[in-house]
Chains A and B, each alone.
Chain A
Amino acid sequence: MAGGDPLNQNRPDGADREERLLRITGAIADGVSVDWEAEMKQSPDLRGVLQRLALVERIRNAARASDQG
């Protein structure tokens, strides 16, 4: 998935892909835990981007922990 807009890959399933990705990034923004294993099973085409987002979620959690510390 190198280069390009992750939300518009000019593919027939682009809208569905966008919807799935924004549902997950929305959950991160909301502070809701994401079941990464389930998401990767459900969306193997998004595996790479999901791995990165899992890291972003951990960074968010670390920031929250630091806030409370």
Chain B
Amino acid sequence: MKKNLLSLIIFALFIFIAVGSAESDSNSNSEQVQKELTRADESKLQEALDNSDNSALYTSLNLTKADIAWHAVNTYGWNCEEVINIGEAVKITKKTSVEKRNFSDLKGVYYPLTCSNGKKLRFYPRFNMHPIITNANGSYAGVGS
């Protein structure tokens, strides 16, 4: 009887941990953000990002298209004066060197960007830092062009 009770407690603890390892509905959910982002206009993007994360740590999420373009040009040196479209969230696969090197800082997704000159980039939100912006292949090759 005592052993059964102990086993039940251990089982309950296991279930407790398994529940804790699930995605939180109240926090940022990449699928939810993805749905919001398909609406594409800037106010909706801002609203989606605000809803997805309200912690001050996740500052790279509270960015407008203009902010992203500013980082693309000034932080990384991409030729992208204006971001005209932010694509749907794509789950990162840790295949590129940028994703491997910064994996624990990344939010788990990236967003394809389209600049007004047609250039394609990737926008990687990070937890407490400015975003990483790479080329369409997830590397820094061709920066400055």
The finding on whether chains A and B are genuine partners in a shared complex, rather than unrelated, reads no
Measured CB to CB, the residues of B under 8 A from A are none
